[in-house]
Amino acid sequence: MKLAEIAILLREIVDRCPGLSGSTIKLIPQKAIYPLYEGYHIDIKANFDKETMGGLRKIVEGHDLVMQIKKDSIIVYETRPT
Protein backbone atom coordinates (compact mmCIF):
# COMPACT_ATOMS: atom_id res chain seq x y z
CA MET A 1 0.00 0.00 0.00
CA LYS A 2 1.09 3.52 -0.64
CA LEU A 3 1.20 6.06 2.18
CA ALA A 4 -1.91 7.90 0.92
CA GLU A 5 -3.89 4.62 0.98
CA ILE A 6 -2.58 3.82 4.44
CA ALA A 7 -3.66 7.24 5.75
CA ILE A 8 -7.23 6.65 4.53
CA LEU A 9 -7.29 3.12 5.94
CA LEU A 10 -5.89 4.14 9.34
CA ARG A 11 -8.41 6.97 9.69
CA GLU A 12 -11.23 4.52 9.04
CA ILE A 13 -9.77 2.00 11.51
CA VAL A 14 -9.43 4.65 14.22
CA ASP A 15 -12.98 5.92 13.64
CA ARG A 16 -14.65 2.49 13.56
CA CYS A 17 -12.54 0.42 15.98
CA PRO A 18 -12.35 2.28 19.32
CA GLY A 19 -11.16 -0.97 20.96
CA LEU A 20 -7.74 -0.38 19.39
CA SER A 21 -7.07 2.58 21.66
CA GLY A 22 -3.63 2.14 23.19
CA SER A 23 -2.43 -0.27 20.49
CA THR A 24 0.86 -0.03 18.61
CA ILE A 25 0.67 0.48 14.85
CA LYS A 26 3.78 0.20 12.68
CA LEU A 27 4.33 0.61 8.96
CA ILE A 28 6.77 -1.92 7.55
CA PRO A 29 8.16 -1.86 4.00
CA GLN A 30 6.60 -4.73 2.07
CA LYS A 31 10.01 -5.46 0.53
CA ALA A 32 11.02 -6.81 3.94
CA ILE A 33 8.65 -9.73 3.35
CA TYR A 34 7.94 -9.68 -0.40
CA PRO A 35 10.92 -8.38 -2.43
CA LEU A 36 8.84 -7.66 -5.56
CA TYR A 37 6.30 -5.47 -3.76
CA GLU A 38 6.41 -1.71 -3.25
CA GLY A 39 4.83 0.25 -0.44
CA TYR A 40 4.07 -0.79 3.12
CA HIS A 41 2.01 -3.12 5.21
CA ILE A 42 0.47 -2.30 8.59
CA ASP A 43 1.38 -4.20 11.74
CA ILE A 44 -1.09 -3.69 14.62
CA LYS A 45 -0.20 -5.00 18.08
CA ALA A 46 -3.12 -4.98 20.51
CA ASN A 47 -5.43 -7.05 22.65
CA PHE A 48 -8.19 -7.79 20.15
CA ASP A 49 -11.72 -8.44 21.37
CA LYS A 50 -14.40 -9.99 19.12
CA GLU A 51 -16.04 -6.67 18.30
CA THR A 52 -12.78 -4.98 17.32
CA MET A 53 -11.68 -8.00 15.29
CA GLY A 54 -15.00 -8.06 13.42
CA GLY A 55 -14.87 -4.34 12.68
CA LEU A 56 -11.28 -4.54 11.53
CA ARG A 57 -12.08 -7.52 9.29
CA LYS A 58 -14.92 -5.58 7.59
CA ILE A 59 -12.69 -2.57 6.97
CA VAL A 60 -9.85 -4.68 5.56
CA GLU A 61 -12.16 -6.66 3.27
CA GLY A 62 -13.85 -3.42 2.14
CA HIS A 63 -10.49 -2.16 0.91
CA ASP A 64 -9.73 -5.46 -0.87
CA LEU A 65 -6.82 -6.16 1.48
CA VAL A 66 -5.71 -9.21 3.44
CA MET A 67 -5.41 -9.60 7.20
CA GLN A 68 -2.89 -12.08 8.62
CA ILE A 69 -3.64 -12.92 12.25
CA LYS A 70 -0.69 -13.70 14.49
CA LYS A 71 -0.51 -14.46 18.20
CA ASP A 72 -0.39 -10.84 19.41
CA SER A 73 -0.72 -8.82 16.22
CA ILE A 74 -2.44 -8.44 12.89
CA ILE A 75 -0.72 -7.60 9.63
CA VAL A 76 -2.75 -5.83 6.92
CA TYR A 77 -1.41 -5.87 3.38
CA GLU A 78 -2.36 -6.10 -0.26
CA THR A 79 -1.75 -9.26 -2.22
CA ARG A 80 -0.78 -7.71 -5.53
CA PRO A 81 2.44 -5.89 -6.45
CA THR A 82 2.09 -2.11 -6.72
One pLDDT digit (tens) per residue for the chain, 82 residues: 899 999 999 999 999 998 888 899 999 998 877 777 788 999 999 988 899 999 999 999 999 999 999 988 999 988 766 5
The pLDDT, as a whole number, for residue 16 is 93
User: So what's the pLDDT on residue 42?
Assistant: 94
How many whole angstroms from its chain centre is CA 49? 16
Residue 38 lies in a domain: yes
pLDDT for residue 31: 80
Q: Tell whether 72 is covered by a domain.
A: yes
What is this structure's pTM? 0.84
Q: Answer yes or no: is 15 within a domain.
A: yes
Q: Is residue 21 part of a domain?
A: yes
82 located within any domain: no
CA-based nearest residue to 44, from 28, 58, 29: 28
> For residues 44 and 56, what is the distance between their CA atoms, to the nearest angstrom?
11
The total number of structural domains in the chain stands at 1
Q: What pLDDT, on the 0 to 100 scale, is given for residue 81?
A: 60
The range of the structural domain enclosing residue 62 comes to 3-77
Output the CA–CA distances (angstroms, integers) from residue 53 to 22, 31, 40, 50, in the order listed: 15, 26, 21, 5
